[in-house]
Amino acid sequence: MNCTKCKTKAVIGLPRHNAAFCKGCFNGFVHDQVTRAIKSEKMCGKEDRILVAVSGGKDSLALWDILLKLGYRADALYVNLGIGTYSEQSHAKVTKFAEAVAASHGATLHLHTVEQEAGAGIKELAQLIHRPTCSTCGTIKRYQFNRVAIEQHYNVMATGHNLDDEAARLLGNVLHWQEEYLDKQGPSLPASVEGFAKKVKPLYRLSERELAAYAVLNQIDYIVEECPMAKGSKMLQYKEVLNRLETESPGTKQMFYWGFLEKQSKKQPTATTMTEKDRAVLHPCTSCSQPTTAEICSYCKMMARASAAKS
């Protein structure tokens, strides 16, 4: 198989684009997809201060790498969840990338350790408050990510959600008819109220396989092991189903998610409507001042429940 662009030996075939690329042309393709995503969704500019959420996995480290290579001002935050050797290994991968690659671009890595603040790792916390681990993890990461962005004056927060993540999430929401979540499934969410930073997903045009290939080809040392807490998760089941469909019918995932985005964009001026909706229901948490729909935000409630359970 030869590269569609330069006709040298290809390293990856992309059936959904009816193309194959050598390393150089594939890197160009990936950078081009991210640039298109950023521009079409008005995610950020070169003057913005971006905070990338990194986990040690391929997507978030690839995102940090791509943004820096494209000339964006991107620092990162790593949240150490305290999941034994998994967290130790992922922390080591992030630190290695920060020192070996990001530092040469003048980028900084911020760190938050769940155990230091909560007095327990994520698994123990979830048990204490009788909530699923993935749900507890999501609440903590969202909260800390937004807190660091606001406190350190970043105006854009970027996550490594890719096409597979968004297609699987859309499938889950549609299967359960959770229409209330569909409005927020876009790749760019505005900073709707004071205390919320803008959230963007610059990798939504790239598949998980393409991002893993980018990491391998660019010697990005990421954690290959799956998070032990995610084993058997519904998201993995949805992804498996979508990948079987994709293999039989290339382009299925992008048709599903991009088609949804196109329909949403025709339906309503999303950014304005979402901002108006948020402003109507969100106000500062009485405990920590982060925006919430309740009197006390879900993070503060969770920490209070964990503290009560421990004592």
Partner 1 sequence: MQVQLSHPARTVEVKGPKKVKELLRELNLVVEAHLVIKGDDLVTEDEMLYDVDQIEVRPVISGGNQAEAEVEAKAEQKPPTDSSSTLT
> Residue 48 is which amino acid?
D
Binding mask 263-292 for partner 1 (x = CB under 8 A): -------------------x--------xx
* 141 lines the binding site for partner 1 (CB under 8 A): yes
The binder of partner 1 chosen from 247, 268, 286, 307 (CB under 8 A)? 247
* 47 lines the binding site for partner 1 (CB under 8 A): no
Sheet containing 156-158: order of strands: 109-113, 73-80, 49-54, 156-158, 198-200, 188-189
* 94 lines the binding site for partner 1 (CB under 8 A): no
* 303 lines the binding site for partner 1 (CB under 8 A): no
> Residue 249 is which amino acid?
S
The binder of partner 1 chosen from 17, 96, 105, 209 (CB under 8 A)? 209
DSSP assignment of 250-306 equals TTHHHHHHHHHHHHHHHH--HHHHHHHHHHHH-EE-TTT--EESSSS-HHHHHHHHH
* 135 lines the binding site for partner 1 (CB under 8 A): yes
**How, if at all, do strands 73-80 and 49-54 pair?**
parallel
The binder of partner 1 chosen from 7, 36, 39, 176 (CB under 8 A)? 176
Tokens (6 digits) for 227? 């998070």
In angstroms, the CA 230 to CA 2 distance is 37
Q: Which residues contact residue 239 at a Cβ distance below 8 angstroms, ignoring those fewer than 6 apart? A: 164, 168, 208
* 33 lines the binding site for partner 1 (CB under 8 A): no
Q: Binding-site residue total for partner 1 (CB under 8 A)?
A: 76
Q: Which of residues 212-231 bind partner 1 (CB under 8 A)?
A: 212-213, 216-217, 224-227, 229-230
Chain-centroid distance of CA 218 in Å reads 20
* 173 lines the binding site for partner 1 (CB under 8 A): yes
* 41 lines the binding site for partner 1 (CB under 8 A): no
* 34 lines the binding site for partner 1 (CB under 8 A): no
The binder of partner 1 chosen from 93, 110, 147, 169 (CB under 8 A)? 169
